[in-house]
A and B are shown apart, each in its own frame.
Chain A
Amino acid sequence: MSTGRLTFASVSIARVPGVAVVLAVLCVGFGATSPGFATFANIANILTQSTILLLLALPMTVIIMTEGLDLSMGAVLTFASIVLAITVVTTGSPMLGFLAALAVGFCFGLGNGMLIAVLDIPPFITTLGTLGIAQGLSLLVTDGQSVVGIPRSVESIYSGTAVGIPMPVIIGALAYGVTHTLLYHTRFGTYVFALGGNREALRVAGISVRAMLIRVYVFGGLMAGFAALLMTARLNSAHPTAGIGMEFDAIAAVAVGGTSFERGNGWLFGTLLGVIAVGVLRNGLNLLAVPSSAQVACIGALVIIALFIDGLRTER
């Protein structure tokens, strides 16, 4: 999506970005109005719910930084979780299932990468196509039915806790840590900035742009596969509609987090805040028993306001 019109506020950590403002206001607002909000249980609950979205939003940040996009993530997650479930049910081995899910993620990531880097089809349409493929496969394999009969051991990955902290929160933290290291402390990360910022720089430095692009999308696929594990554990089943449309939530979270669609201007921590902001909003609105129709509108408002604030700040 690297286009003149899509460019917007570059968020530097120095200045307080829109997402932080919004998140703060939300927390204060809900904390004041709804008693249940500021409890440990509820905060844990919010973070737990946010994990799966976070697992998609992190790689999405990286992908968007390369001026790319991955619309297939939600569908890939769904398909991976179905494959996982089926494998577990048939073989009885969660490990195999997990590997199968990762394999699915890897394949789709690789596919996206190849189509984009080698056949240079624009990311948007490439992943729109693979979205259809993953979705179709999910339907075909399951015939629309949920896949059930997964051993409890899998569910515990989601529902379990370690030292009082829910597993998903820990997993989310780990995933963030890994992505952060990848992005800011490895060659991969440095080149991601270059992919979005100035591909010529990479070529001159003798680094294969294609290989890099493929890696980026494979990373996305793998994370989707990983998220599939959590999703399956959460539902204790796999369902062909479970992850539909999550990619857009992820993209929104990334944008709310202040990552630009242009020139490799990304901010991973912002994405984290963005994901949490969405989680807090939904949770808070539920606690306040706000009618769903209003909730729907609020989510739209959140996205626009956060970006509006960023826009304001960069007004010359």
Chain B
Amino acid sequence: MKYRIFSVTAVLTAIFSSAAFADGETIAVFTKNLTNPYFQAVRVGTETAAKTLGVKVIQYVPTKPDSIPEQLSQVEDVIVKKPDAIVFVPVDYKALVPAVEKINAAGIPVTNITDRSAGGNFVAFVGADDYSIGLAIARRLLTAIGGKGNVIILEGVKGSLTSTNRVRGFNDALKETPDVKLLGSQPANFQRLNALQVMENLMQSFPSIDGVLAANDPMAVGAIEALEGANRKAMVIGINGSKEAVELIKSGKLLASGDFNGFIQGCIGTQIAVRNLRKQSTPKEVMLKPIVIDKTNFTPYEMPVEQRSCPTIEQITSN
């Protein structure tokens, strides 16, 4: 009996002990999952901003990656706790609208970042335009392969806003260069292994591939691995500007990566949330400029996110 109670309490004490609270405003941050480096960058961004602003952030992430019901439950739980403000990345931009409405109903100011929610009232939206990034990075590749040849698109998770817009950008860029032939456009769910295997299989069907347009960096890397595995050459681009991508750009394996800067989005999102709390003026919308990272300009991105410092809203909005 003793033993059994002990075994239970052991775990629980472990849990309860981690219940610490800071004074000053608390800000609840919602991200999609614990596995994608992009959202890690977002979280680091919010924390860096929080440190400088002297507020406390609490991270909420679904235990099942990208689980809609779970993020919804977490929102409901957080509303019970009534944080001062919320920075929100919806797992699904449509399905989480009820959650946003609940937050609004509870009168908690919420700032929307990364994926623009289809409904609800926000203090502001901070994001980068997936479409224009997709367009820009695709143009970069198409010019690099000399405006002609065969390319493949690796899509992200079916129906996710990010994937849809980026791929739309890719396709529009392709329209501008009629001599480039799109061989196939297959989803690889933003995942490296999927991309690797999809790529392997596609390479069987297509003897000559000149370019690969991947909707994010992991898939781009997967594609590179596949190409190397079959020792074939093709130019590859990704999106996110992740640490790994930058190194690959440096080593010349990856042509370029679109800068979809989670860190900055996290920073700005938090800053806006705090300013709003402190009754300071805030922009209604901040859109990061589409930047293409390649051999020419990768150096600043080599610094790990943990060591970077947040730009101010003005810096972002001005230039």
Contacts and interface: CB of A to CB of B under 8 A. Distances in A.
**A–B direct touch in complex (beta carbons closer than 8 A):** yes
Contacts of A289: 18-19, 58, 81
B8 A144 contact: no
Interface residues of B, number: 44
- Between B5, B81, B160, the greatest number of chain A beta carbons within 10 A of the residue's beta carbon is seen for B81
Interface stretch (B66-74, B128-136, B197-205, B273-281): B66-74
B142 interface: no
A291 B59 contact: yes
Interface stretch (B89-97, B145-153, B219-227, B289-297): B89-97
A240 B159 contact: yes
B77 interface: yes
A21 B4 contact: yes
Contacts of A103: none
A291 B3 CA distance: 28
A145 B58 CA distance: 30
Interface residues of A, number: 59
B76 interface: yes
A306 to B, nearest CB: 9
B36 interface: no
A286 B77 contact: yes
Contacts of B64: 244-245
Contact of B18 (A45, A244, A291): A291
A22 interface: yes
Contacts of A41: 80
B63 A299 contact: yes
Contacts of A296: 63
Contact of A236 (B4, B5, B97): B97
B98 A144 contact: no
Contacts of A45: 76-77, 80
Given A146-B94, A146-B95, A283-B77, A288 B159 contact: no
Interface string B41-84: 00000000000000000111111101111101110111011000
Interface stretch (A29-37, A64-72, A90-98, A175-183): A29-37
Contact of B72 (A148, A235, A288, A295): A235
A42 interface: yes
B316 interface: no
Interface in B4-35: 4-5, 7-9, 11-12, 15-16, 18-19, 34
Interface of A: 21-22, 25-26, 29-30, 33-34, 36, 39, 41-42, 45, 48-49, 52, 139, 142-146, 148, 155, 159, 231, 234-237, 239-246, 282-283, 285-296, 298-299, 301, 305, 308-309, 312
18 contacts: A21-B4, A22-B8, A25-B9, A45-B77, A49-B73, A139-B158, A159-B98, A234-B69, A237-B94, A285-B15, A286-B74, A288-B19, A290-B15, A291-B59, A292-B59, A298-B15, A305-B11, A309-B8
